Amino acid sequence: MAKDNLHQPQSVSKRQFLEAAAAIGGASAVLTALDGWGIGFASAAEAPPNLMGRSNGTKVLILGGGLSGMTAAYELGLRGYDCQILEARSFAGGRCQSSRAGSTTTEIDGSTRTCDFDEGQYFNHGAWRLPSYHHAVFHYVRKFGIPMEIMVQENDLGYIQNDNAEGPLAGRRFRKREIKADMRGYTAELLAKLTDQGALDEQLNNQSKEQLTDYLVREGFLEFRDLSYKGTHHRGLASFDVMAAMDPNTPTNPLAFKELLQSGLGNSFQGVTTIDHPHSMYQPVGGMDQIARAFEQNLGDNVITYNAEVQELKQDGNGVTVPYRDTVTGETRVAKADYCITTLPLSILRRLPADLSDRCKEAIAAPSLSTVGKLALQMNRRFWEEDDDIYGGSSTLGIPGHTVIYPSYGYFGKKGVIQSAYAFGGAANTLGELSLDKQVEQAIERSERIHPGQFRKHYDGKAFSIAWHRTRYNEGGWTTWSPSDRQNHVPVLREPQGRVYFSGDYISALAGWQVGAIESAWTQIEKLHASANQG
């Protein structure tokens, strides 16, 4: 960050703040910021509601075959409801998608992009990680028997480099663990010496001071005799010789504390990970879309009508009527039911003619959808593993939209797919306007600074990208509410509007997460079931 920007007060928009947060800390920082504005995380439910009684063939029409829609259809189907899902695409899953050989995305203008990765290689261009407390997702993982594996969210062996940092550390590449170890060591040294000099005598008794000092010595790898930080082999080794007679581990020298503070690199890390982005997360074996496929398989035949583009939403006191267009044949057909659950993105729903109140339409029109883009490149050699000992995790240059995220599958294999961009806001708009070739060239040029001479050499010409805000039937990533709009409008959408119910992560406190989609469906089917049984 430039010195003028650092010391002069500025007024920045939320979008600018989120873009800066993404450059420093990636998606974790962005979503944690959203949480701070009251629009983040609050997972609680562990199992679907216990719906007493069964339906006598009550028909429910569900608009959208994402996880929320399929959850509703699955749970209601178990209780005797006759459910039909209208899905505009030729496949289900919503944003729970993985790009692999043959998979295709379509943009708003009708242009398509087909993935040509090698067999066995994939990229989660939608949802891509699960923290352990997302119990609602793991409920179905267990129920459907979906094989899971560790997803490495944070790896201290990844690199950090920032050309815009101040001082002599600008533009230099470091392992994340070097920065972490030195920041913790020097900070522990300062506090330990202050404690020893009596600065905390009013707050702590002698026993507490001894306990604190002992903790700081251990946490910061301090010299016990003078409480100084002189580095530690845990930050990295200058040389390593297993067969050395005396000391095979020669530690690297620590960075100067003043230079480290001047650079701001230490501010990229926290001592404790957030609950939503711990070091170790989880992913389905073979791609995140395995969750969507498991729902499809367990729904049975004829529940999902594919290639069904909803045209209108009508309702009266007796039920709902939804005309839809078959995108393959061009024919217009009509679906009718006793109730409707819509999971359509609000940006699409607000354009549809609908028998909804003005108050409801006001709520639908209130939020915006985030602009989000991703890019992944297939490499013909896993140089990050073979040359740099990096298995999962990420590296960063601090450039908005750019990232190097290493795959947490296929370890020790020949090829691998690296996520080379994860952009938000303006950076996502800029990325989405580039051709795929230009996106690839930009990613290679930037990533070469982290892995000199490797990206260009080992990129095998296969890439895939998505701009969710330009993608047909999505037109954005997750829904973004301002705190006041969330307070004023979400309660409206959480309640039935006649015979129409709303479901999706946008009515949950977990926007952008699969668990928000599932938990929202659980809450809405409970309300629908209560209404159906009253009738």
CATH number at residue 238: 1.20.1440.240
Residues 362, 387: one domain? no
In degrees, rounded to 5, the angle at the alpha carbon of residue 93 between the alpha carbons of residues 90 and 99 is: 80
pLDDT of amino acid 29: 46
Q: 112: which 2 tokens?
A: 């398509």
Average pLDDT, the chain: 91
Q: What is the mean pLDDT of residues 202-219?
A: 96
Q: Domain containing 239: what range?
A: 165-268
The pLDDT of residue 56 is: 80
Q: Between the CA of residue 89 and those of 62, 72, 228, 282, 342, what are the distances in Å?
A: 14, 18, 62, 27, 16
Residues above pLDDT 90, as percent of the chain: 83
Q: Are residues 170 and 264 in the same domain?
A: yes
pLDDT, position 77: 96
382 occurs within a structural domain: yes
364 lies in the same domain as 379: no
46 — pLDDT class (breaks 50, 70, 90): confident
Decide if 2 is inside a domain. no
Side chain identity, residue 156: D
The size of the chain, in residues, is 535
Q: Residue 526: inside a domain, yes or no? A: yes
Contacts of 497 (CB under 8 A, 6+ apart): 356, 357, 360
Task: Give the SS3 label for residue 357.
Answer: coil
250: pLDDT confidence band, cut at 50, 70 and 90?
confident
Asked if residue 53 is part of any domain, the answer here is: yes
Number of structural domains in the chain: 3
pLDDT at residue 34 in the model: 44
346 and 410 together in one domain: no
User: To 5 degrees, how large is the angle CA 529–CA 532–CA 533?
Assistant: 85
What is residue 385's predicted lDDT score, i.e. its pLDDT? 98
Q: 222 in a domain, yes or no?
A: yes
Residue 44: the pLDDT is 65
For residues 223 and 308, membership in a common domain is answered with no
pLDDT at 22 over 60: no
Q: Are residue 364 and residue 378 in the same domain, yes or no?
A: no
Instruction: Give me the pLDDT at residue 373, please.
Output: 97
Q: Which two tokens stand for residue 520?
A: 């929202």
Name the domain boundary from 416, 442, 470: 470
383/465 same-domain check: yes
211 and 254 assigned to the same domain: yes
Residues 245 and 387 in one domain: no
Per-residue buried b or exposed e for 6-35, using 16+ beta carbons within 10 Å of the residue's own CB: eeeeeeeeeeeebbbbbbbbbbbbbbbbbb
In a domain, 155, yes or no: no
**Cβ neighbours of residue 306 closer than 8 Å, sequence gap 6 or more:** 65, 87, 89, 90, 91, 92
Contacts of 534 (CB under 8 A, 6+ apart): none
SS3 assignment for 259-274: HHHHHCHHHHCCCCCC
Q: Which one has a higher pLDDT value, 28 or 529?
A: 529
120 & 80 share domain: no
- Give CA separation, 303 vs 34, 299, 330, 454, 517, in Å: 36, 7, 21, 48, 19
Q: Which range (12-21, 203-212, 283-292, 306-315) has the least confidence?
A: 12-21
List CB contacts of 276: < 8 A, sequence separation 6 or more: 28, 31, 32, 35, 40, 41, 131, 133
Let me know whether 494 and 346 are in one domain: yes
The answer to whether 263 and 165 are in contact (CB under 8 A) is: yes
- In a domain, residue 220? The reply is yes
Residue 18 in any domain: the answer is no
Q: Is the pTM of this model over 0.95?
A: no
Q: Are 233 and 200 in contact (CB under 8 A)?
A: no
CA distances from 462 to 100, 115, 333, 416, 465 (A): 11, 8, 40, 11, 11
258 and 172 within one domain: yes
pLDDT in tens, 75-128: 999 999 999 999 999 999 999 999 999 999 999 999 999 999 999 999 999 999
